């Protein structure tokens, strides 16, 4: 409280810092100005005194590290000015004298700054051997043990001597690169100790702030390591024998996590990849000795990533098995660091996997070893821990990377630890990975030829194949997504292929047994392709038998063909059982055609009967009935079936179904189509029964004629059927029949505006055109 | 028929390109459109898609929609999408195109029966599928097109199906028809001309 009654102004810590810094900076600049003037006037002693005053400002304890750094930079500029003046030697003094003179400065900090300034010029002018001056200076710096002041003093030492360090090719008398290494390492060690001590400067409640402030100064310490890396004399050999052991010793001994973390990162960053490659064991064993709070994962992962990139650009010496070194060390580190986060452990696995796939693409056992280790580790972890998003992400990466790299699902399936790893994931993630596998297989069109591989693939993606205990309720699943997924799974069948028929059939049996577990929602997607593939398979097999590529006698063929068709029948039956009647009916029709082409009449007939049974019992919708019957008629028409009795039974059954349709319109329409059952005229079969053709057409016409609301369209359709048989020169339909029908339609049923009017006009136009070119049309009058 | 290259076709500037395509049967009989065809089917080059059905998967419909917004599909016997009609007439320029899958035609693919369907639909061009056999012919001054199966899907009607589709360029009363076939991994193109009378 201000006793004089004026208003007290309380400054925030930031404002306070600003104020302290401004004041100190101001003082430095005033003294600096005096110093420059003194130098301009050749008054060196005065200038040194003003310099002392500048440095005195650096004795402050009021500034945060950041502010201190800003102040240091201002002071540094003036010191540089002095430095250049001294080097120009206008003062006429010998360096040894000056070196003595500045040792009399009153306070230790100004004395040491001045000593370093003069010392650096001393080396530069070569009036003394560098190694001796360096040794002297670094010893004297011990005099300052205050962390911030000491740190900056040593930083100053490092800055002004950086271009004066003995190195390869410099004058032997000044010292060797080993003197420089000794000097830098010692400075590094001391600076690091001071830096570490900084954290103890503040009360515990300020610890976080203090640590953050401390981080601002890490560069000062790290600079020493880059200095080392810049020395030409530090080659791989010197690095591994001299530099690394000393640096590592300090890193381990400081026992402080922030320092360890930062210094390891810098060490890896500033030295070249070749050096790390040669000293992997040392670096990794250092990692295992770091404090428990150190993010070892980040250090190792960045090293692995660097070396993996290096390996992709360069050849790695054969005697170094990078993967083995990393793998063994990582394994050990994970074991020894009980508190390592699972996501970090998994992250290391991802790095290891990338490493081996980049460096040793042929050694797939390495990839398997990584997945195996991961599996082993996850076995001892709780579900909650594994299912954290950060962990799940890494596990999914581990599973996706081999797919992306191998571009071949077969190679991925060979990794024995791959599938077990999937099992650790939750339902949705297992499904996601399974879909990735399916999409990858389809995208790369990977053909799978071995039944065992098919089995292994379908087992691996089992989340998509069958119900699982942890899946969501069916009504929670997006129907469209589900269908898309199942369509993808269903597509796989087209990639299962083998030149060996026995193997291929075995593949289909394996696939059938997996898909069979899928339940109604899945088999409606997955079994249909299996039916078509089986039909394609048996068609091809028959052709190979016919062409003599595969030698089977008639009996053998019938036996094998029957076996395959039984498989087809049993597969369609599964769809019949879940009441997919229309689909099953169509599949039966497909099977009829294939069996017919394979010359298996008994089976053809069996399938036809199955189709008819479904039609009678399970297809109830009127429109569906019309569609189904239309397809049945064309199917029967297309057959080569030589057994006339069998055919006529089927044709008779078909007509019977047509007469049972609900509406007379449909009856008439379908009976008229049934005329085609009696006029089969193609390469493989001739079956011509003109009387039955005409009978069907008459019957059809009489049904529609008796309808009061007959309309026009069915009449025109019948007329066009008549024309069909007339154009076929079938003699089934007399010209008079057509003329009468046209007359009937015109007089009785043609109404303006009927949607079939155009059809009628086009038909009449067609007849008229034909009359011009085709003599047989002469007898038709329109 | 002349052999012409795809580059020849794509350099056309006035575009009124129609794709006739169908019988893909994904996933029933194939795992997808061959990549060689997908490379040719690029968005913005195609204005209309006339599809003869049997896609079967929704994925294929979505894929067509990425090529053009004007997609017409009729229902094949394995399509479950109940919004597809059995037949459809689409007018493009001076031409009326009739679209029908073709499973309704007895006998399948029969030219005489197709002619009746053309009369019924009263169209200039009749596009049907079902047989998986690509065919383009003129009859009674009308054009009949069957684009075959774009995936080369197995068929009980046609042996060893060749993947195919048809591209049409309509200019006034003329149509240029390009037949695309995938033979031994390479795309072969044939060109035909048709004029409306």
Helix, strand, coil % over all residues of chain A, rounded to 5: 75, 0, 25
Residue B104 in contact with partner chain A when CB distance is under 8 A: yes
Element containing residue B162 per DSSP (H, E):
none
Out of B59, B104, B119, the one facing A630 most closely (by C-beta) is B104
What is the model's pLDDT at position B4? 58
Distance separating the N- and C-terminal Cα atoms of chain B: 21
Which of residues 19 through 38 in chain B touch A, CB cutoff 8 A?
Answer: 25-32
Cβ–Cβ < 8 Å for B54, B101: yes
How would you classify the pairing of strands B186-195 and B174-183?
Answer: antiparallel
Cβ neighbours, 10 Å, residue B140: 13
The fold for domain B6-195 equals: Purple Acid Phosphatase; chain A, domain 2 (3.60.21)
pLDDT at A214: 85
* Phi, psi torsion values for A756, nearest 5 degrees: -90, 0
The pLDDT score that the predictor gives to residue B9 is 59
Cβ–Cβ of A637/B30 closer than 8 Å? no
B57–A487 C-beta distance less than 8 A: yes
Q: Does B85 touch chain A (CB under 8 A)?
A: no
- Select the residue of B28, B30, B119 nearest A763 (Cβ to Cβ): B119
pLDDT of residue A351: 94
Mean pLDDT by 10 residues, chain A (782 residues): 57 88 96 95 92 95 91 96 88 85 87 95 90 94 93 96 91 90 97 90 72 88 96 96 96 94 95 94 92 92 90 84 92 90 95 92 94 96 95 97 96 96 96 97 96 98 96 88 95 97 98 96 97 98 95 94 98 97 98 97 96 96 96 97 94 96 96 98 94 97 91 94 95 95 88 88 95 92 85
User: Is B77 within 8 Å of A586 when comparing Cβ atoms?
Assistant: yes
Measure the CA–CA gap between A594 and A572, rounded to whole angstroms: 14
The Cα of A489 is separated from the nearest Cα of chain B by a number of Å equal to 9
A490/B27 Cβ within 8 A: yes
3-class SS at A449? coil
ipTM of the complex: 0.93
Give the residue from A618, A530, A633, A607 showing the smallest Cα distance to A581. A618
The first and second tokens of residue B177, run together, are 């028809």
Contacts of B59 in chain A (CB under 8 A): 484, 487
pTM: 0.83
Residue A697 and residue A711: Cα distance in Å, rounded? Answer: 17
Say how many CA atoms lie within 13 Å of A282 toward its Cβ: 20
CA-based nearest distance A419→chain B, Å: 25
Q: Determine the distance in angstroms separating the CA of A532 from the nearest CA of chain B, rounded to an integer.
A: 6
Please, how many CA atoms are within 13 Å of residue A357, restricted to the half-sphere of its CB?
22
Kindly tell me the burial class for residue A9, based on how many C-beta atoms sit within 10 Å of its own C-beta (0-12, 13-18, 19 or more). Answer: exposed
Place of tokens 């009978």: A695
Task: Mark yes or no for CB contact A720/B116 under 8 Å.
Answer: yes
Residue A185 sits at the vertex; the CA angle it makes with A184 and A187, to the nearest 5 degrees, is 65
Q: Which of A494, A633, A724 shows the shortest C-beta gap to B116?
A: A724
- Structure confidence at residue B190 (pLDDT): 97
Give me the total of CB pairs closer than 8 Å, taking one residue from chain A and one from chain B.
100
Contact across the interface for B103 and A630, Cβ inside 8 Å: yes
Nearest to B119 by CA among A590, A132, A717: A717
Query: Whole-angstrom Cα distance, residue A396 to residue A413?
Result: 16
Q: Which residue of B has its CA nearest to A444?
A: B35
Interface test with A, best of B27, B102, B126 (most A CBs within 10 A): B27
Q: What are phi and psi of A755, to 5 degrees?
A: -65, -20
Contacting residues of A for B85, CB less than 8 Å apart: none
pLDDT for the residue B14: 55
Position A2 scores a pLDDT of 45
* Per-residue confidence (pLDDT) for residue A36, from 0 to 100: 95
Residues of A with Cβ-Cβ distance to B106 under 8 angstroms: 630, 633-634, 637, 673, 676
Assess contact for B170 and B46: CB atoms under 8 A.
Answer: no
Is B113 touching A (CB cutoff 8 A)? yes
Interface test with A, best of B36, B81, B156 (most A CBs within 10 A): B156
Residue B110: closest CA among chain A residues belongs to which residue? A724
Q: Out of A487, A676, A758, whose CB is closest to B27?
A: A487
Residue in A464, A491, A583, A680 to test binding to B, most B beta-carbons within 10 Å: A491
Least CB–CB distance from A442: residue in B32, B106, B140: B32
* A578 to chain B, closest Cα gap in Å: 16
CA-CA distance, A638 to B106, in Å (whole number)?
9
Range name among A23-32, A288-297, B17-26, B140-149 with the lowest pLDDT average: A288-297
Taking CB atoms and an 8 Å limit, are B28 and A590 in contact across chains?
A: no
A532 vs B contacts (CB less than 8 Å) = 25, 28-29, 154
Which one of B24, B77, B126 makes the best mutation probe of the A interface by having the most chain A beta carbons within 10 Å?
B77
Tell me what pLDDT residue A705 has. Answer: 93
b vs e for A192-231, b when ≥16 Cβ sit within 10 Å of the residue's Cβ?
A: bbbbbbbbeeeeeeeeeebeebbeebbebbbbbbebbbeb
Asked if B108 lies within 8 A of A728 by C-beta distance, the reply is: no
In angstroms, the separation between the Cα of residue A313 and the nearest Cα of chain B is: 33
> What does the buried/exposed string (b/e) look like for A534-546 if buried means 16 or more CB atoms within 10 Å of the residue's CB?
bbbbbbbbbeebe
Identify the pLDDT of residue A709: 85
With contacts defined as CB-CB under 8 Å, which chain A residues touch B111? none
Domain residue extents for chain B: 6-195
Determine whether the interchain pair B108/A638 forms a contact, defined as Cβ–Cβ distance below 8 Å. Answer: yes
| Cross-chain residue pair B112–A727, CB shorter than 8 Å | yes
- Separation in Å, CA of A434 to nearest CA in chain B: 17
Across the interface, do A492 and B31 touch by the CB < 8 Å criterion? Answer: yes
Residue of A nearest to B31 (CA): A491
Give the residue from chain B lying closest to A720, CA to CA. B116
CA–CA gap between residue A598 and residue A343 (Å, rounded) = 59
H-helix segments, A337-478: 342-359, 364-379, 383-386, 389-406, 409-413, 418-422, 427-443, 451-460, 462-465
Dump strand ranges (E) for A142-221: none
| CB contact burial B157-184 (16+ within 10 A = b; e otherwise) | bbeebbbbbbbbbbeeeebbbbbbbbee
B120–A492 CB contact, under 8 Å: no
- Give the per-residue pLDDT at A392: 97
CA angle B70, B71, B74 (to 5 degrees): 145
Q: Which two tokens stand for residue A776?
A: 């047989």
């Amino acid at each position: 409280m201000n006793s004089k009654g004026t208003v007290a102004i309380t400054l925030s810590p930031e404002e306070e810092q600003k104020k302290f810094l401004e004041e100190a900076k101001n003082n430095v600049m005033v003294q600096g100005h005096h110093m420059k003037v003194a130098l301009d006037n050749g008054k060196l002693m005065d200038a040194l005194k003003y310099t002392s005053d500048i440095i005195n400002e650096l004795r402050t304890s009021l500034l945060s590290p950041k502010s201190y750094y800003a102040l240091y930079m201002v002071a540094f500029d003036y010191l540089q000015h002095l430095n250049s003046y001294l080097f120009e030697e206008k003062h006429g003094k010998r360096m040894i004298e000056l070196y003595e003179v500045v040792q009399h400065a009153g306070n230790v900090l100004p004395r040491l700054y001045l000593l370093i300034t003069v010392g650096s010029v001393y080396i530069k002018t070569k009036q003394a051997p560098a190694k001796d001056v360096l040794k002297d200076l670094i010893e004297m710096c011990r005099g300052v043990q205050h962390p911030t002041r000491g740190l900056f003093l040593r930083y100053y030492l490092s800055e002004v001597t950086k271009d004066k360090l003995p190195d390869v090719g410099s004058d032997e008398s000044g010292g060797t690169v080993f003197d420089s290494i000794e000097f830098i390492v010692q400075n590094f060690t001391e600076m690091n100790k001071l830096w570490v001590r900084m954290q103890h400067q503040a009360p515990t409640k300020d610890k976080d702030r203090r640590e953050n402030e401390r981080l601002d100064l890490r560069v000062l310490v790290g600079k020493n390591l880059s200095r080392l890396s810049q020395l030409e004399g530090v080659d791989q050999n010197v690095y591994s024998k001299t530099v690394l052991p000393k640096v590592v010793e300090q890193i381990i001994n400081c026992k402080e996590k922030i320092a360890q973390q930062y210094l390891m990162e810098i060490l890896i960053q500033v030295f070249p990849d070749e050096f790390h490659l040669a000293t992997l064991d040392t670096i990794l064993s250092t990692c295992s000795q770091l404090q428990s709070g150190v993010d070892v994962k980040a250090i190792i992962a960045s090293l692995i990533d660097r070396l993996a990139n290096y390996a992709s650009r360069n050849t790695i010496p054969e005697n170094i098995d990078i993967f083995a070194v990393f793998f063994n060390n990582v394994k050990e580190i994970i074991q020894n660091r009980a508190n390592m986060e699972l996501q970090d452990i998994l992250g290391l696995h991802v790095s290891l996997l990338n490493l081996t796939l980049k460096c040793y693409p042929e050694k797939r056992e390495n990839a398997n070893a990584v997945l195996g280790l991961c599996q082993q580790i996850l076995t001892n972890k709780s579900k909650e821990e594994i299912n954290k998003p950060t962990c799940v992400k890494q596990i999914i990466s581990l599973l996706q990377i081999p797919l992306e790299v191998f571009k071949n699902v077969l190679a991925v399936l060979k990794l024995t630890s791959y599938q077990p790893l999937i099992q650790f994931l939750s339902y949705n993630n297992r499904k996601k990975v399974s879909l990735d596998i399916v999409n990858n297989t389809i995208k790369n069109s990977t053909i799978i030829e071995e039944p065992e591989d098919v089995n292994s693939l379908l087992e691996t993606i089992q989340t998509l194949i069958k119900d699982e205990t942890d899946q969501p309720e069916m009504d929670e699943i997006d129907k469209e997504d589900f269908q898309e997924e199942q369509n993808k799974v269903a597509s796989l069948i087209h990639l299962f292929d083998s030149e060996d028929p026995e193997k291929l059939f075995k593949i289909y049996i394996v696939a059938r047994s997996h898909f069979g577990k899928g339940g109604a929602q899945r088999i409606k997607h997955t079994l249909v392709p299996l039916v078509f593939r089986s039909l394609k398979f048996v068609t091809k097999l028959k052709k190979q038998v016919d062409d003599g590529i595969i030698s089977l006698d008639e009996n053998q063929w019938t036996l094998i063909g029957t076996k395959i068709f039984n498989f087809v029948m049993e597969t369609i039956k599964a769809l019949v059982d879940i009441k997919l009647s229309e689909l099953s009916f169509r599949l039966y029709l497909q099977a009829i055609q294939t069996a017919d082409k394979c010359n298996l009449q008994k089976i053809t007939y069996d399938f036809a009967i199955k189709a008819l049974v479904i039609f009678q019992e399970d297809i109830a919708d009127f429109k569906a009935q019309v569609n189904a019957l239309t397809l049945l008629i064309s199917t029967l028409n297309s057959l080569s079936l030589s057994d006339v009795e069998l055919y006529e039974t089927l044709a008779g059954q078909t007509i019977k179904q047509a007469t049972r349709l609900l509406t007379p319109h449909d009856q008439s329409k379908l009976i008229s189509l049934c005329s085609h059952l009696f006029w089969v005229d193609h390469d493989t079969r001739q079956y011509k029964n003109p009387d039955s053709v005409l009978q069907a057409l008459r019957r059809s016409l009489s049904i529609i004629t008796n309808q009061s609301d007959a309309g026009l369209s069915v009449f025109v359709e019948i007329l066009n059927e008549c024309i069909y048989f007339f154009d076929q020169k079938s003699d089934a339909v007399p010209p008079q029949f057509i003329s009468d029908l046209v007359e009937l339609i015109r007089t009785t049923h043609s109404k303006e505006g009927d949607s079939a009017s155009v059809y009628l006009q086009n038909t009449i136009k067609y007849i008229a055109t034909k009359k011009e070119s085709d003599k047989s049309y002469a007898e038709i009058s329109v | 028929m002349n052999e012409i290259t795809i580059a020849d076709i794509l350099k056309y500037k006035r575009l009124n390109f129609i794709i006739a395509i169908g019988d893909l049967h994904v996933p029933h009989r194939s795992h997808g459109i061959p990549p060689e065809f997908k490379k040719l089917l690029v968005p913005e080059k195609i204005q209309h898609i006339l599809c003869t059905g049997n896609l079967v998967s929704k994925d294929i419909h979505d894929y067509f929609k990425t090529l053009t917004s004007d997609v017409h599909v009729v229902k094949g016997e394995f399509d479950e999408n109940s919004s597809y009609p059995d037949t459809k007439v689409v007018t493009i320029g001076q031409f009326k195109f009739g679209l029908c899958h073709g499973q309704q035609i007895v006998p399948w693919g029969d030219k005489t029966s197709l002619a009746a369907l053309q009369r019924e639909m009263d169209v200039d061009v009749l596009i049907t599928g079902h047989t998986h056999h690509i065919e383009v012919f003129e009859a009674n001054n009308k054009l009949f097109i069957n684009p075959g199966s774009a995936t080369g899907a197995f068929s009980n009607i046609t042996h060893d199906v060749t993947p195919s589709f048809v591209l049409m360029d309509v200019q006034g009363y003329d149509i240029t028809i390009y037949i695309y076939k995938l033979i031994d991994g390479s795309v072969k193109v044939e060109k035909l001309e048709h004029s409306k009378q």
